[in-house]
Amino acid sequence: METIIDKTEALVASTYARQPVVFERGRGAMLWDTEGRRYIDFLAGIAVCALGHSHPALQQTLAQQAGRLVHVCNLYYTVPQVELAAWLVEHSFADRVFFCNSGAEANEAAIKLARKVFQDRGQTNRFRIVAMEQSFHGRTMGSLSATGQDKIKQGFYPVLEGFDFVPFDDIEALRAAVDDSVCAVMLEPIQGEGGIICPADDYLRQVRALCDERGALLILDEIQTGMGRTGRLFAHEHSGITPDIMTLAKALGNGLPIGAMLAREAAAQAFGAGAHGTTFGGTPLITAGALAVVQTLEKENLVAQAAETGRYFRDQLEALTQRHDIITAVRGQGLMLGLKLTCEGAPIVDQCLEHGFVINCVQGDVLRFVPPLIIGRHDIDALIQCLDEIL
Residue 169 or 379: the one with the smaller Cβ distance to ligand PLP is: 169
Q: Pick the binder of ligand PLP from 26, 148, 189, 192 (CB under 6 A).
A: 192
- Residue 152 CB, shortest distance to ligand PLP, in Å, is 11
336-341 vs 327-333, strand pairing mode: antiparallel
Which residues form the catalytic set? 136, 221, 250
What angle do helix axes 284-299 and 56-68 make, rounded to 10 degrees?
150
Interface stretch with ligand PLP, choices 76-84, 185-193, 204-212, 338-346 (CB under 6 A): 185-193
- Of 131, 223, 293, 374, which lies in the binding site for ligand PLP, with binding defined by CB under 6 A? 223
Alpha carbon 33 to chain centroid distance? 25
Size of the residue set binding ligand PLP (CB under 6 A): 15
Gap between the Cα atoms of 251 and 259, Å rounded? 10
Q: Give min distance, CB of 51 to ligand PLP, in A.
A: 18
CA atoms within 13 A on the CB side of 82: 5
For ligand PLP, which is the closer residue by CB, 217 or 249? 249
Stretch in the footprint of ligand PLP (CB under 6 A) among 125-133, 179-187, 221-229, 349-357: 221-229
From the list 41, 108, 169, 193, which residue makes contact with ligand PLP (rule: CB under 6 A)?
193
Residue 38 CB, nearest distance to ligand PLP (Å)?
Answer: 26
**Between residues 131 and 223, which has the closer beta carbon with respect to ligand PLP?**
223
Q: How buried is 149 (Cβ within 10 angstroms: 0-12 exposed, 13-18 middle, 19+ buried)?
A: middle
Give min distance, CB of 249 to ligand PLP, in A. 5
| Residues 390 and 352 sit within 8 Å (Cβ to Cβ) | yes
- Establish whether the linkage from the previous residue to 56 is cis, with ω within 30° of 0: no
- CB-based burial of residue 328 (10 Å sphere; 0-12 exposed, 13-18 middle, 19+ buried)? middle
User: Which of the stretches 97-105, 269-277, 281-289, 290-298 binds ligand PLP when contact is defined by CB under 6 A?
Assistant: 97-105
Assess contact for 331 and 312: CB atoms under 8 A. Answer: no
- 260 three-state secondary structure: strand
The verdict on 102 binding ligand PLP (CB under 6 A) reads yes
Output 107 or 316, the one with its CB closest to ligand PLP: 107
Q: How far apart are the first and last CA of the chain?
A: 37
| Angstrom distance (rounded) from CA 344 to CA 322 | 19
Q: Does residue 196 belong to the site contacting ligand PLP (CB under 6 A)?
A: no
Q: Please give the residue ranges that form the binding site for ligand PLP (CB under 6 A).
A: 46, 102-104, 107, 136-138, 188, 192-193, 221, 223-224, 249
